[in-house]
Amino acid sequence: MSFAQWAAIYGPTYLTGLAWTAMTAVAAGGGAIVWGCTLLLIRLSAGRWGERAVDGYVQLFRNTPVLLPIYLVYFAFPMIGLPWPAVVCGGIALILQNGAYVSEILRGSVNAIDRVQFDAAKSIGLAPWNTFRRVVLPQVLVYSIPALGNQTVLLLKDTSLLSAISITELTMQAKLLTEQTGAAYEAFIVVALLYLLLVSGTEVLFRGAHRAVRWR
């Protein structure tokens, strides 16, 4: 069987895996940005103890493998009465892990903002939340686009680890096809090409967004 025939026969299977991978990456990526912004807000407004708590959280998740929170969330949630689907548990684990990295990316961007802007916001009576929402966050997201793009690519590739909890994303589909057909090379070559397509599309998207905001 030629490679083209293989792709034609098992194309729907790959499309299913591609859809799961893309949807999980988009949902987890958006959640990680929201969670990272929340951690940044806590760091900026909750005083010394808030900053220490966020530092501890970041160090915990930056120094543990991604698979560990995936297993912990997947097996722990049913024990506390939350028998959520595997894809939800996996998405939450990716959000928790990548949110720590996003918060550090955003913190670096905050340090690039002139302190005069913070003083100006305080002088006109803006509350900490309004200062964050109107002054800090728009600039932080612009400065962070390249680094956020890189982190999104890492998150996209980390979705392959969700195969460990039986989510039928691309890697799991390739594994199942290998078991069914015994053709490991064809199965994983197609998956590699699809990941390359997804990563390339993500990079193009973030480069376009960065160019767009730079001209404003």
Cα-Cα-Cα-Cα torsion 95, 101, 103, 107, nearest 10 degrees, comes to: -170
Share of the chain above pLDDT 70, in %: 95
Arithmetic mean of pLDDT over the chain: 86
The tens digit of pLDDT for each residue in 171-184 reads 999 898 888 887 77
The per-residue pLDDT for 158 is 94
Q: pTM here?
A: 0.85
Dihedral sign (CA 204, 207, 211, 213): positive
| Confidence tier at 59 by pLDDT (50, 70, 90) | very high
**Distance (Å, whole) CA 118 – CA 135:** 8
What pLDDT score was predicted for residue 2? Answer: 64
CA distance 1 to 6: 7
Nearest to residue 213, comparing CAs of 152, 116, 148, 117? 148
Q: Is the pLDDT of residue 156 over 90?
A: yes
The C-alpha angle with vertex 95 and arms to 91 and 101, in degrees rounded to 5, equals 150
pLDDT at 150: 93
Q: Among residues 138, 191, 152, which one has the least CA distance to residue 26?
A: 152
